Amino acid sequence: MRVPAEFADVEPLDEINRSLKTRDRVEAEAQCAIMRAALINEWRARRAGKAADTRAIFDTSIELLKGWGMSFSPMDDLLNGPVDDLLSRIEAIANLEPNSAAIPAALGAIDLPDATLEEMAKRMPVLREAEIRAKNDRQRREWLGNYKRAAKDFATHIGKRTVLTISEQDAADYEDFWKKRARSGAVTTNYANKQVRYVRQMIDAHFEDIRLPKSKRINVFKDMRVEKLAHEDGDERKKLPLPELWIKERLVRDRILEGLDQEASDIAIIAAICGCRASEIYDLPEADIHLDDPIPHLMLQVVKEGPDRRQLKGPSSKRAVVLLGPALEAMRRHPRGFTQYRGKATYSGKVNGFLRDNGLFPPLPEDKKDDRYVISGTRHSFEDRMGKVGMPNEERAYLMGHSIGRVRGRPVYGSDLDLRIRALLQEMITFETHDWKPRPVKRLWKEIDRLIEAEGFRLK
C-alpha cells in the first residue's frame, strides 16, 4: 500500500509491500484491510512517540495490540507471568523493524498515562459525561467546582502529585489535615469527608480511563473517612426549622420577600408550603407546570436535553407536587416559571442576604443563639408540620421526595402515591387564603380511606 501523505513524517518509505500469505482472494482482501489498519495504528503510535505524548502513545499502542489479538500488560507482569505468554509476544514481533511501535507495546515497555489532580479535575466532565448529562449550567459549575477545589487543596497542603505517584503517606497526611480542621471547628466532618471523596473519585476515574485492570487499581483513599466528633450533632447538615408563625404570617401573608423581588417571594412561598428545595422550584421548566390540570401540580423530574435541562438530587426526588392555597396563587403569578433564577446560583445568597441585612429573620431560640436561620429551613419546618397532623413516616417521605426504600428498610414494590391522595395529604398542611380554606384533618383522612376502599382495598 502507498503510505498516506499525513504519515510521511514517521514513515520514510513511499510504499509498503508485505506478503498476505494466501492465494484466496476473499481472504486476501480481509487480510489487506486488517494489515492496513495495523499499519495506520503503528504510524500513529510512532507519531505519538515522536511527540513524547504518553497518553497518545498508550492509546495508539492499545489499538495496535488489538490488531495483533493481544492486550497490554506491564513488563513486570510479563516477566513474572507465564513464560508461554512472553514467548508468544516475542515471536509475534520477531520480524518487525527495530523502530516499530509494536515492539515496546507488546513487551509492556510503554508508560501508563498519568495526570495531576488539577488535570483530572478539568477532565472529569468528559470522563463522567453520562453522569452529568442532565445537569444545567449552574449544576455543572457547582459539580466541577468540587473537584477543582479538592485538587487545589491537595496540591496546597500535600504537594503537586500525579495520580500514579500519590502514596499511602500522602493519603494519610491529607486525611490528617482534614481531621485537624474538623477538630478545630473550621469545617464539619461532613465537609471534610467530601473533600477526601472527591480525590478518591478522581483517582478511580483515571484508573477507568486508562483501562487499568481492577487487580492493579490500588486507590490509597479507599474506605478513608474522617470520623464524626463526639460533640457533633447526629446530623450536622440539619438546618434550623423556621418558626411556623413566621412562615405563615411574615413569609406568606406579608410577603416580606417582595422587597427583594416578586419571583424570590413566590419561590419561597411555594417551597415553604410544599416542602420543596428552592432549586426544585426555580429550575422548573414551563412544561412541568400543570396549572390547568384538575389537580394543579408541578412535576419534578430530570430533563436531559434542551435549554431547561436539570438534574434532581436523587431518584426519589422525582415526584408530583400538588399546588393548593398560597402555593397555587404564587405559581399562577408565574405560569412560565421563574426565568430570573432558572439555571442560576443566585437565589439562596440573595434571599438570605436580604432577610439578614434587613433584620427580617425571626429571633433565635435561647438554646440556639450560636446557630442561624437560612431560607432553606422552611423544608425542615414542612417536616414538623407533617408530624403535627399525625402523618405517617412513609407519606411524609413521598411528599418530601425522600427514599421510600430507606423508610421501609427494604426494596420498593407497589404503586406510587396517587395524585388524589397527594392532594389530600397536602391539604392537611397548607395554609388557608382569603378565598380557600382546608378541610379538617379528620375529614381528609376519611376521604383518603374512601378513595382506597373504592379501588377495592380492604381497610377494616
Tell me: the pLDDT tens digits for 298-316? 999 999 888 888 889 888 9
Cβ partners under 8 Å of residue 258, min gap 6:
265
Q: What is the pLDDT of residues 177-208, one digit of tens each?
A: 999 999 888 998 999 999 999 999 999 999 99
CATH code given to domain 244-454? 1.10.443
Q: What angle do CA 18, 22, 23 make, to 5 degrees?
A: 120
Residue in this structure with the C-alpha cell 473533600, named with its chain if needed: 195
pLDDT in tens, 404-425: 899 888 888 888 889 999 999 9
Compute the C-alpha angle 222/225/229, nearest 5°: 170
Q: Chain-wide mean pLDDT for the chain? A: 86
Residue 113's nearest CA partner among 48, 166, 55 is 55
Percent of the chain with pLDDT over 90: 57
Q: Which of the four pLDDT bands, split at 50, 70 and 90, describes residue 28?
A: low
> What's the rounded Cα separation, in Å, for the pair 11 and 429?
77
- Spatial strand order of the sheet with 289-290 comes to 289-290, 297-300, 319-322
Q: What is the pTM of this model?
A: 0.72
Q: Which three cell numbers stand for residue 178?
A: 482534614
In terms of pLDDT, which residue wins out, 392 or 43? Answer: 392
Rounded to whole angstroms, the Cα distance separating 308 from 342 reads 8
Among candidate residues 28, 67, 21, the one with its CA nearest the CA of residue 44: 67
| pLDDT for position 30 | 45
**Interval 124-129 mean pLDDT:** 94
What ranges in 158-227 are assigned the alpha helix state H? 168-184, 189-209
Alpha-carbon separation of residue 269 from 68, 186, 295, 328, 360 (angstroms): 65, 33, 19, 10, 15
Tell me if residue 303 falls in helix, strand or coil.
strand
The mean pLDDT value for 330-349 works out to: 94
pLDDT, residue 181, reads 93
Instruction: Enter the DSSP assignment of 249.
Output: I
HSE on the CB side for 105, CA within 13 Å?
33
**Residue 34 reports pLDDT greater than 50:** no
Query: What tens digit of pLDDT does each residue of 242-297 get?
Result: 999 999 999 999 999 999 999 999 999 999 999 999 999 999 999 999 999 999 99
Rounded Cα distance, 201 and 122, in Å: 13
Assign 41 a pLDDT band (cuts: 50, 70, 90): low
